[in-house]
Amino acid sequence: MNFQNTREFAKQLDAQDKLAKYRDEFIFPHVNGKQVIYFTGNSLGLQPKRTKAYVDEVMNDWANLAVEGHFYADKPWWDYHERFSKPLSKLVGALPSEVTVMNTLTVNLHLLMVSFYRPTAKRYKILCEEKAFPSDQYMIQSQVKFHGYDPADAIVEIKRRPGEHNIRLEDVLSKIKEVGDELALLLIGGVNYYTGQVFDMETITKAGQEAGAYVGWDLAHAAGNIHLELHNWNVDFAAWCSYKYMNSGPGNASGAFVHEMHHNDTDLPRFAGWWGHNKGRRFLMEPNFDPVRGADGWQVSNLPVISLAPYLASVEMFDEVGMPALIEKRDRITAYLEYILHEIDREVNGHFEIITPSEPKERACQLSVFLHGEGRQLFDYLMKEGVIVDWREPNVIRLAPVPLYCSFEDMYEFGQVLKAGILSHKK
State residue 427's pLDDT score.
Answer: 59
Span 40-63, pLDDT tens digits? 999 999 999 999 999 999 999 999
Q: What is the pLDDT of residue 211?
A: 98
Distance in angstroms (rounded) separating the CA atoms of residues 137 and 129: 9
pTM, two decimal places: 0.96
Q: How far apart, in whole angstroms, are the C-alpha atoms of residue 183 and residue 3?
A: 47
Please report the pLDDT score of residue 266 as a whole number.
80
CATH no. of 7-49+323-426: 3.90.1150.10
Q: What pLDDT is stored for residue 265 in this prediction? A: 92
- Rounded Cα gap, residues 227 and 244, in angstroms: 16
Q: Is the dihedral of CA 311, 317, 322, 324 positive or negative?
A: negative
Quick: pLDDT tens for 132-147: 889 999 999 999 999 9
Contact between residue 74 and residue 57 where contact means Cβ atoms under 8 Å apart: yes
Angle of helix 51-65 versus helix 305-321 axis, rounded to 10? 140
Residue 131 in this model has a pLDDT that exceeds 90: no
pLDDT at 425 over 80: no
Question: Do 7-49+323-426 and 52-321 agree at the fold level?
Answer: no
Q: Does residue 245 carry a pLDDT above 70?
A: yes
Lowest-confidence region among 90-104, 221-235, 239-253, 361-375:
361-375
- Helices 323-347 & 408-426, crossing angle to 10 degrees? 30
Triad 391, 249, 40: Cα angle to 5°: 25
Backbone φ and ψ for 201, nearest 5 degrees, come out as -65, -35
Confirm if 217 and 246 have CB atoms less than 8 A apart: no
Cα–Cα distance measured from residue 253 to residue 314, given in angstroms and rounded to the nearest whole number: 12
pLDDT tens for each residue of 298-343: 999 999 999 999 999 999 999 999 999 999 999 999 999 999 999 9
Amino acid identity at 6 = T
pLDDT of residue 93: 98
Give the residues across from 158 on adjacent strands: 129
Please report, for the chain, the start and end positions of each structural domain, with discontinuous segments joined by +. 7-49+323-426, 52-321
pLDDT band at 426 (very low <50, low <70, confident <90, very high): low
pLDDT digits (tens, 9 = 90+) for 385-416: 999 999 988 889 999 999 999 999 999 999 99
Query: What value does the mean pLDDT of the chain take?
Result: 95
Phi, psi of 193 (to 5 degrees): -65, -30
**What pLDDT is recorded for position 374?**
73
Residues contacting residue 172 through CB under 8 Å, at least 6 positions apart: 158, 188, 199, 204, 207
CA distance 337 to 351: 16
Fold category of 52-321 in CATH? Aspartate Aminotransferase; domain 2 (3.40.640)
- The string of pLDDT tens digits covering residues 62-117 is 999 999 999 999 999 999 999 999 999 999 999 999 999 999 999 999 999 999 99
Residue 125 · residue 158 · CB < 8 Å: no
Phi, psi (degrees; rounded to nearest 5) at 260: -60, -20
Q: pLDDT tens-digit profile of 25-44?
A: 999 999 999 999 999 999 99
pLDDT digit string (tens) for 160-206?
999 999 999 999 999 999 999 999 999 999 999 999 999 999 999 99
Q: How confident is the model at residue 372 (pLDDT cuts 50, 70, 90)?
A: confident
